[in-house]
Amino acid sequence: MTLPYRALICDLRSDQVLDVLPLHGVTFDDWIGKTGSLNATIPIPNRGLAARVRAAIEPARTVVWIERGGEVWWGGIVWTSNVSTDARGFLSMAIQAGGFDSYLDHRLLHDTFTAQGVDQFDIVRDLIRYVQEAPGGDIGLECDQHLCGILRDRTFSRYDLPTIRDLIQQLASLDSGFEWRVAAYRDSASGRRVKRVQMGFPVIRSGAVETVLDYPGPVLAYTWPVDGTRRANTWTSRGATTNANQVEASVPLMSSDLVADADLAAGWPRLDGSSDYPTVGTPYILAAHARADWNAARQPRVIPEITVALDRTPLSPALLGSTIRLRIRDLWHSLDERFRIVGLSVSPPERGRPETAKLFLEVP
């Protein structure tokens, strides 16, 4: 059975409902490790609806919540809108929205931040608190309260004017880092809509019951990309310029070269890689970034994608981070393995289009 969808349009700071509007051509996705997005079109067939849309949609101030059967499946901030007409004179507004973590791309660190021997999850919470304690900055983000046990020393300079999201992402991508996302859902006890900063070490795990998906079956199609262009077995990272002598040439801090000798001995060609951290001026922090990047480049993540019929299997965005058992039988695969869901893209049903979800998987 296909459950009904609806779009709630709300004020970002107060979460007050402004309107419930029809959306066409909706697609939305949610991820671990990157910002989710929504694309949709609001049809405007008459002056009455035009007035409602004009009053409700204000990019950078408006939130859209997508509900499916009364449950919140996605929430985020409308960042762009585009009113247009087609050749027959039909008026519509196209909107694009980003998940709530996209707000952190629009907040800068204006004060030097220092942490000594602080759990990396607490550093994230302190940065979120900094965001929301500024006048006009509280958008209702809530945080997990558990610790991960990895202590960090950090100094973020206000002179660099970094975005808060970049600071969190750099912390998360260190060796012994973590995963994070902003989960949007409805609290089962109070019924309120929640924006929760969810963190997991070393990864986010969810879901107690394993879902089994078969191709052929509920899995309608799949893709299995392998990308060698991002592979590297040697690595060097560059940091901040450390030379304060204006007479001499400025040079950046450099990490030690990391070389996977075992890969070269096994017959792999030498593949060089590098990364830049222009605000990192501490050697051991730069070394941690370099090692994390090197480990990721030696075995780039393969992210298979499967398309699932939602009316044939119980799935929801709450399963991000959970494990599924995928069974594929065709000319290429004889597969029966477990994968973790790291991304989900939903296409609600419309005329001529079934309700489907694309699941993006992490190879174990």
Instruction: Transcribe 274-308 into DSSP letters.
Output: EEE-TT---HHHHHHHHHHHHHHHHSPPP--EEEE
Closest CA relative to residue 289, chosen from 212, 237, 242:
237
Tell me what percent of the residues of the chain surpass a pLDDT of 90: 83
Residue 81 neighbours by CB under 8 Å, 6+ apart: 57, 59, 93, 94, 95, 96
**Cβ–Cβ under 8 Å, residues 157 and 282:** no
pLDDT tens track for 140-170: 999 989 999 999 999 999 999 999 999 999 9
The span from the CA of 248 to the CA of 74, in Å, is: 53
The span from the CA of 339 to the CA of 356, in Å, is: 19
Instruction: For residue 317, give both structure tokens.
Output: 């965005």
In single-letter form, the type of residue at position 309 comes to: A
Give the per-residue pLDDT at 248.
66
Instruction: For residue 230, give both structure tokens.
Output: 């991002």
CA distances from residue 327 to 89, 272, 330, 332 in whole angstroms, order as listed? 49, 36, 10, 12
Whether residue 247 is predicted with pLDDT greater than 80 in this model: the reply is: no
Whether residue 245 is predicted with pLDDT greater than 80 in this model: the reply is: no
**Cβ–Cβ under 8 Å, residues 363 and 301:** yes
Give the per-residue pLDDT at 173.
92
**Cβ–Cβ under 8 Å, residues 121 and 199:** yes
In single-letter form, the type of residue at position 263 comes to: D
**Cβ–Cβ under 8 Å, residues 343 and 359:** yes
The mean pLDDT of 53-63, rounded to a whole number, is 98
Between 8-17, 119-128, 170-179, 249-258, the lowest mean confidence (pLDDT) is in 249-258
Q: What is 211-226+302-362's CATH number?
A: 2.30.300.10
The span from the CA of 262 to the CA of 266, in Å, is: 6
Give the per-residue pLDDT at 352.
78
Confidence of residue 54 (pLDDT cuts 50, 70, 90): very high
Side-chain-facing half-sphere of 170: CA atoms under 13 Å: 23
The domain 107-200 is placed in CATH, from the list 3.55.50, 1.10.287, 3.30.70, 3.40.50, at 3.55.50
Confidence of residue 241 (pLDDT cuts 50, 70, 90): confident
Give the per-residue pLDDT at 197.
97
Give the per-residue pLDDT at 313.
86
pLDDT tens track for 102-153: 999 999 999 999 999 999 999 999 999 999 999 999 999 999 899 999 999 9
Tell me which long-range contacts 81-86 makes (C-beta under 8 A, separation of at least 24).
Answer: 81/57, 83/44
Give the residue carrying structure tokens 């975005």. 163
Domain boundaries, the chain: 5-100, 107-200, 211-226+302-362, 234-298
The span from the CA of 126 to the CA of 128, in Å, is: 5
The span from the CA of 71 to the CA of 6, in Å, is: 10
Closest CA relative to residue 82, chosen from 72, 91, 95, 71:
95
Give the per-residue pLDDT at 363.
82
Give the residue carrying structure tokens 């945080």. 143
Whether residue 336 is predicted with pLDDT greater than 60 in this model: the reply is: yes
The mean pLDDT of 303-312, rounded to a whole number, is 92
In single-letter form, the type of residue at position 32 comes to: I
Give the per-residue pLDDT at 1.
57
Q: What is 5-100's CATH number?
A: 2.30.300.10
Query: CA gyration radius for the chain?
Result: 23
Give the per-residue pLDDT at 128.
98
Confidence of residue 312 (pLDDT cuts 50, 70, 90): confident
Give the per-residue pLDDT at 243.
65
Q: Do domains 107-200 and 211-226+302-362 have the same CATH topology?
A: no
Confidence of residue 359 (pLDDT cuts 50, 70, 90): very high
Alpha-carbon torsion, ordered 330, 336, 340, 346, to 10 deg = 40
Give the residue carrying structure tokens 């060698």. 228
Whether residue 261 is predicted with pLDDT greater than 80 in this model: the reply is: yes
Mean pLDDT of the chain: 93
Give the per-residue pLDDT at 244.
58
The span from the CA of 79 to the CA of 94, in Å, is: 11
The span from the CA of 80 to the CA of 61, in Å, is: 11
Residues of 157-173 as b/e, b for ≥16 C-beta within 10 angstroms? eeeeebebbbbbbbbbb
Give the per-residue pLDDT at 89.
86
pLDDT tens track for 316-330: 999 999 999 999 999
Give the per-residue pLDDT at 351.
82
Whether residue 78 is predicted with pLDDT greater than 80 in this model: the reply is: yes
Give the per-residue pLDDT at 301.
81
Whether residue 96 is predicted with pLDDT greater than 70 in this model: the reply is: yes
pLDDT tens track for 202-233: 999 987 778 999 999 999 999 999 889 989 99
